[in-house]
Structure 1
Amino acid sequence: MRFKNGIRAGLWWTPLVALLAVSPFFWRGTSNGHDLPFHVNSWIEVGRQWKSGILYPHWAAFANFGSGEPRFVFYPPISWTLGALLGLALPWQAVPGTLAALVCIAAGISMYLFASEWLDAQTAVLAAVLYAVNPYQLIVIYERGAFAEMIASIWIPGILLFAMRERSSFARNTLLLAVHMALVWLTNIPAAVIATYLLAFVAIIRAVQTRKLEPVLRAAAAFVLGLGLAAFYLVPAIYEQQWVQVSAAVAAGASPRDNLLFARTGDLERDAVLFRTSIFALIEFCAAVVCVGLAKPLRRSLLQLYNVLLSAIVLVVILLSPLSLPLWKYLPKLQFVQFPWRWLLVLNVAMMFFAAVAFARTRISRLAVFAIIPLVIAICYWKFQQPIYPEDRPVALAQAVGDGAGYEGTDEYTPTQADNSNFAPYMARIAVQITTENDEQRKVAPSTLAHSNADVWDTLHKHFTMDSQVPTRSTLRLLDYPAWQVTVDGTPFQQTYDQADGRMIVALPAGHHEVDISYRKTPDRRWGQWISLFALILTIGIYAMARSDRRSLPT
């Protein structure tokens, strides 16, 4: 009953502050966050593919100005699915702000569920409202436009809840924890790495506190089961890393070493952003110290919880300082967090919990929160909002895709042999070259020697005919990638690629030829789907047995 009444009360406030956070978008337009074009282009692409019957996209056909990239193999599906769904119902200009508001509301509800496990409903609602528009969430909305990371903030409180929960059965808590781990892996890889290390950290602390192995066993089982549930995405993403330049994700400027607090890279624009973020992080650290100090009642009544949350804050402070360099270097996959300040996702869960306890003491202090929140929103908007240029507006991005111009590709999703800096809009689908008797190659405009006709040029299927009196060498507006299967006249054909940019090349002898190119379902995708199916059946089975055991207990 506490949940029902509390959530009902919270729903009066959480949407209100969420709408307040995005309200400047109504008259100033969407903030041009660093990642905004990437996400909007993904939503537009997915929406178009759904309309053509592709339910789960893998290849982004309009990336690299129409040459494509395997973006959806590697980028988790939850954010681009939600954005595309909203795009089906709303104008593209309204989607970023709407998604941001919905995420803030969902994050607040998640925080309520976490806080209500230990606090009264009124205090839990206060925690929910504070977390819904916590300062780091506002930075992500205004400056970064990192919608997947924003969505990941929904799952962090749930991971903490089910890692620490003492009531309910081991099986139930483990299953719910596994679902949250699967969701975070399907949302954002850096946040998933953070969540995994956070889970291990909390499990070890809880094992020491309780002097039992149960927290560690729960965390381990949930981690494995969560990976299994997300395997349909993870297995292809892990296996196909060998086919792309994934190391670009942690190249110079994007590595943890280059993004610790007050680090300098020599790039003036990047350093200015990092300096601003560092100042912001220091202010958050100071605010966290104040909130912890004011939340002394929590230490007296819930010492173990207090220590876990305080330890999480200390962990974040360490990881953002140069002291953590050995950790970033040697801990497995931690470098793929890229930016250490992403750990503020964790700090704000703990800080808003402490802040709710501190401000819930009196009626005046509770009312003060609703004066502070608009002030924090205004300050964050003033300092971090990014003016949007006409070409970056969602409407303009949708127009570029609709016109066939496409958009820039992503470095880490570029095939190993490709260079995505050499692409331009409106490149020819088929650039034909003929070979003369002297073995010299030259481009041909309309020519009587060779003629091509592309009668099908869809996302996953290309088909064209070639009629030529001489051998031809055709460079396609399509990045070569191992998932593409080429047949010529019904026979498997080994294509090559352009050394300059990685586009596919089909070299044909003289005559009439039917060329068919299809994006095939590679074995790694099948393995991932089978693993996820097995994990889902196992999850349902364990849940059914746990429910049966619960019903059989005497009342």
Structure 2
Amino acid sequence: MRGLWRERGLWLMGIGMVPVCGPLLWAGFPPSHDGVLHVYRVLEMDRMWRAGVFYPRWAPDLVSGLGYPLFHFLGPLFPWLGALGMRLGLDLESSVKLALALLVGLGGTGVYRLARRWGIHEVGAMIAGLAYVYAPFRVRELYWQGDFPQYLALSLLPWAMGAFHGYLQEGGWAQRWKAGVAYSLLLLSHNITAMLGTIALLGYGVLVWAAERPPRRRLWGALWALGLGVGLAAFFVVPALLDRPLVHLDRLLQGHFDFRKHFLGLDRLLSFVPMQDQSMGNPQEVLTLGAHQVLLAAAALLGWGGWTRPQRILAAGAWLGLIGMIGLMTAPARPLWEHLPLLAYSEFPWRWLGIAGLPTALLIGLGMEGLRRSGWRAMGAAVAGLALMLGVAPLLYPFGRFTVLRQATLADLQAFDRAAGLIGLTSVGELLPRTVLAREIPPSPLEEAYRRGEEPVRLDSASLPSGATARPLSLGPLDQRFWVDLPVGATLRFWVFAFPGWQVQVDGRPVSVGAVGELGLLHAAVPVGSHEIRLCFCGRWDWRLLELFSLGLGLAGFGQWWTRRVRSRPQAVAGISPHPLSQREWMALAAFWALILGVKFLYVDPHTRWFRPRSDPDHPPGMRERADVDFGGRIRLLGYAASPPAWVIEPGERLILTLWWRGLQEMNTQYSVYVHGLEALPPHRLRFQSDHMHPGDMPTTASPWREERYIRDVHVIRIPADLSPGPYRLKVGLYERDHPEQTLSVDGSGENGYMLPHILLVNRPMPPAARLPEPISFGGALRLVGAELPTKIPRGQPWRLWFYWEAERPIDRSYTLFVHRTDESGAVRGQRDAPPYSGAFETSRWPPGIIIAIPVELEGIDQVGWYHLRIGWYEWPSLTHLNLPSGETAYILPRPIEVSP
């Protein structure tokens, strides 16, 4: 396969990748969800490299300087790449961007080589590589989500698959070691993608086994390569798994991170990439395979007859894998997520989108095999490549306030951590030691030293007894020495979280340490007298043993390669021409790519808004109702919209309420939003609700709240199946995330929330047996379509009746419904006159064409006999009736009701 590096398809693919790298040339990083925090992780890794620590399990400068076991539990490979660029002389921003640009090429090249393993010609392999580079999820990761380690892992996965495919095809110790090394890099890149990727890798190995039919001994060799990968990464993988009980990792199974809240529907998974409105402060989450890619992959099936037997097996397996991954992202897969070990820690089922892009890309590339003539093949490549680029064009223009980090400092890191509402550059402080009981970590006195650019002193002087003295001897990020003179024995406290690996030595001898207070700070007992105190993160013996094991394994492999240095002969791909296009066709295709690049960079980017529209931020698209309600002078509720738009819903259904917000000033407080469903009638009890940690998942301290942009906040509210039918009101409010009792009041009213003026009717569905043979029209405005009545009622028991009405046209006034009971002589024996639901859902609110269930309660009757019901409508106070077509003012239901003894 070494000859592939000389193929024109690979280099032409490199030209096609250029547009996706365009935003990396802009100053700063776009306001993605996670991008900046990963850049700061690189800064912390570089800080530790400068201190002489290559693999720091403890990040001492996070959480206000109290430290965090970040790299002990999260893959260190991307921070290593970024820190390497900084050690080569690049600034922080340039180093990270260079790494990302290399990863774009790494992922595309890996798929290109994997496609050649499938026996796909150069043109098809080129299109497969471009399909992976332009997969919507991967472009989203670069500029909108910003999970750079996940992007790294997805760039490594095709290399791991290609390495195992190569070993099963060719055998040999070199291929086996390549597979093991590739798998170890995957394990070191991103925990969740490594876990999901391992599942995909095992499935791919079975598929290749079925397609290639290699000797059985290679199966054991492939398993040996997997074990080798685990061994090379054992220094990280084993502690990260076994030490989970030491931290609050369970927080990733709660609240927003509960996987049950993030399943997707097929309509979204298979949709086209939507345009991104630049006036929207929280752009739409693009979670799709891309309808254009799915269609290209499906079109590839037209060439099935021309594929080789291995290609057919690989294609069938790719489709099965793709369908399986789509299934895992939908709600029916919930039982699997609940019962498979560790899968719940993936947090978001849609993470499978990243891996699903790989079989999709290979299927698209395989489709080029169906184009037999080289001219058609070149034209097909041009059309497919253009479709792949245009399909994700809206994602290639990130917008908002970019963050410039060329000269970022550790003090900037801590300020960002606190302003973004993070803990240790993670979402919910899931890696805080178990000894830390506090949910909120207050600022520490170490922050002032960071602002001055000094190494903080971690010995808490407040823990020294009266008359004691202490002076630093040496200060390092993970190793500090002090000389102390204690008039009495004392328990000294240090500004660092207690965590295994931290050690306190008194005159060179380790002493017992523990945790103190809600913050779980490290403390140690020191006897009376003068002593040299050493505080160091010395690690544990088992960690060191694993590090030596992985290092020894790696050195052994390198030594084997060095001593043998056997050059494997290039492997030709059977039945495939190395040059499927003529020289002229290659040149035409290159000219086409150059034309596309020229149009993009010279015309589309500077002169058009084709792929980056901007709406009026004061009138967001889709907003049906205006509100303009200000909360505490800080946030404005612009308006809202509901689905169903008629505000009539049945129990068990979903109400989708979309709110549009705008920030009025810069905020330092994180606010959460609630929507409460209250009974419209007294006692106005709370019956259902929706809470978002951040309005629209956008922290209120973020830059979009300080700009002329709106925040779209979608609440999907499941109406309880056992909720009583009737009218309800929706109340919207804001409260401090960390202090829910602190709410923002509505300006000018003092209320702690805004009651939407619309009434939500939870409607009772009409039973089929209740439908009347013919509807009865009242004044051409309302018609009775059904009635649910008892046939017999015990004497003295109240009557409960249900009538089902439909507005024939919009009604601009409120009518009163009357129900009269008449005995056999026609005398009235009780009545009920009232607007529907006691006026809480007047007829002026009724949407035309929807059947509305109206209950009527009548008092019991002591006199047995047969009774009829006479019903009708009138307007109060004029007493103007809605007449029947016959001119009568009331309708008498034909079926009598018996009051029995």
* TM class, shorter-length: 0.7 to 0.9
After superposition, give the CA deviation of every residue in 1:122-162 in whole Å (9 maximum; x if it has no partner): 22122223322322110100112111111112222233334
Out of 339, 346, 367, the residue aligned to residue 358 of structure 1 is: 367
- Measure, in 2, the Cα distance between the counterparts of 1:100 and 1:472: 51
Aligned: 1:529 with 2:543:
no
1:440 equivalent in structure 2: none
2:409 equivalent in structure 1: 398
Aligned: 1:233 with 2:236:
yes
- Which letter maps to 2:405? P
1:224 equivalent in structure 2: 227
**How many residues of Structure 1 are paired with residues of Structure 2 in the alignment?**
525
- Measure, in 2, the Cα distance between the counterparts of 1:155 and 1:220: 19
- Which letter maps to 2:293? A
Q: Secondary structure at the match of 2:290?
A: helix
- Which letter maps to 1:327? L
Q: Is the 8 A contact 1:123 1:357 kept in 2?
A: yes
Note closer, same or farther for the CA distance 1:76–1:103 as it changes in structure 2 (3 Å cut): same
2:517 equivalent in structure 1: 499
1:138 equivalent in structure 2: 139
1:167 equivalent in structure 2: 169
Note closer, same or farther for the CA distance 1:477–1:402 as it changes in structure 2 (3 Å cut): same
- Measure, in 2, the Cα distance between the counterparts of 1:342 and 1:60: 27
Q: How does 1:393-432 map to 2 (within 5 A)?
A: 393-395=404-406, 397-398=408-409, 400=411, 408-409=423-424, 410=426, 411-418=429-436, 419=438, 421-424=440-443, 426-427=445-446, 429-432=458-461
1:268 equivalent in structure 2: none
User: How far has the Cα of 1:535 moved from its partner?
Assistant: 4.1
TM-score (norm 2): 0.53
- Which letter maps to 1:152? A
User: How far has the Cα of 1:316 moved from its partner?
Assistant: 1.1
- Which letter maps to 1:141? L
User: How far has the Cα of 1:113 moved from its partner?
Assistant: 0.9
- Which letter maps to 2:198? T
Q: Is the 8 A contact 1:171 1:542 kept in 2?
A: no
1:200 equivalent in structure 2: 202
Q: Secondary structure at the match of 1:423?
A: coil
Q: Secondary structure at the match of 1:153?
A: helix
Q: How does 1:156-305 map to 2 (within 5 A)?
A: 156-165=157-166, 167-169=169-171, 173-206=175-208, 217-261=220-264, 276-277=284-285, 280-281=287-288, 284=290, 287-298=293-304, 300-301=306-307, 302-305=311-314
CA RMSD of aligned residues (A): 3.6
Q: How does 1:92-107 map to 2 (within 5 A)?
A: 92-107=92-107
- Determine what percentage of the aligned residue pairs are the same residue: 22
Deviates further, 414-423 or 539-548: 539-548
Deviates further, 116-125 or 32-41: 32-41
Deviates further, 114-123 or 157-166: 157-166
Q: Quick check: which has more Rg, 1 or 2? A: 2
Q: How does 1:330-479 map to 2 (within 5 A)?
A: 330-358=339-367, 361=371, 362=376, 363-382=378-397, 385=398, 387-388=400-401, 393-395=404-406, 397-398=408-409, 400=411, 408-409=423-424, 410=426, 411-418=429-436, 419=438, 421-424=440-443, 426-427=445-446, 429-433=458-462, 449-469=467-487, 472-479=490-497
1:40 equivalent in structure 2: 39
More helix by share: 1
1:269 equivalent in structure 2: none
- Measure, in 1, the Cα distance between the counterparts of 2:558 and 2:463: 60
Q: Is the 8 A contact 1:58 1:73 kept in 2?
A: yes
Q: Is the 8 A contact 1:452 1:465 kept in 2?
A: yes
Give structure 1 stretches of 5+ with no counterpart. 264-271, 437-447
- Measure, in 2, the Cα distance between the counterparts of 1:44 and 1:59: 14
1:443 equivalent in structure 2: none
- Measure, in 2, the Cα distance between the counterparts of 1:300 and 1:464: 76
Q: Secondary structure at the match of 1:154?
A: helix
Q: Is the 8 A contact 1:34 1:144 kept in 2?
A: yes
User: How far has the Cα of 1:207 moved from its partner?
Assistant: 5.1
Deviates further, 154-163 or 165-174: 165-174
Q: Secondary structure at the match of 1:38?
A: helix
- Measure, in 2, the Cα distance between the counterparts of 1:434 and 1:68: 19
Note closer, same or farther for the CA distance 1:160–1:93 as it changes in structure 2 (3 Å cut): closer
User: How far has the Cα of 1:351 moved from its partner?
Assistant: 1.3
- Which letter maps to 2:460? A
Aligned: 1:20 with 2:39:
no
User: How far has the Cα of 1:103 moved from its partner?
Assistant: 0.3
Q: Is the 8 A contact 2:40 2:413 kept in 1?
A: no
User: How far has the Cα of 1:521 moved from its partner?
Assistant: 3.4
1:441 equivalent in structure 2: none
2:116 equivalent in structure 1: 116
1:444 equivalent in structure 2: none
Q: Is the 8 A contact 1:291 1:358 kept in 2?
A: yes
**Higher relative contact order (Cα pairs below 8 Å, separated by 6+ residues):** 1
- Measure, in 2, the Cα distance between the counterparts of 1:364 and 1:405: 49
Q: Secondary structure at the match of 2:256?
A: coil
Q: Is the 8 A contact 1:174 1:218 kept in 2?
A: yes
TM-score (norm 1): 0.83
Q: Is the 8 A contact 1:261 1:275 kept in 2?
A: no
User: How far has the Cα of 1:476 moved from its partner?
Assistant: 2.1
- Measure, in 2, the Cα distance between the counterparts of 1:403 and 1:247: 24
Q: Is the 8 A contact 2:211 2:314 kept in 1?
A: no
- Measure, in 2, the Cα distance between the counterparts of 1:327 and 1:173: 35
- Measure, in 1, the Cα distance between the counterparts of 2:344 and 2:413: 37
Note closer, same or farther for the CA distance 1:515–1:170 as it changes in structure 2 (3 Å cut): same
Q: Secondary structure at the match of 1:518?
A: strand
- Which letter maps to 1:11? W
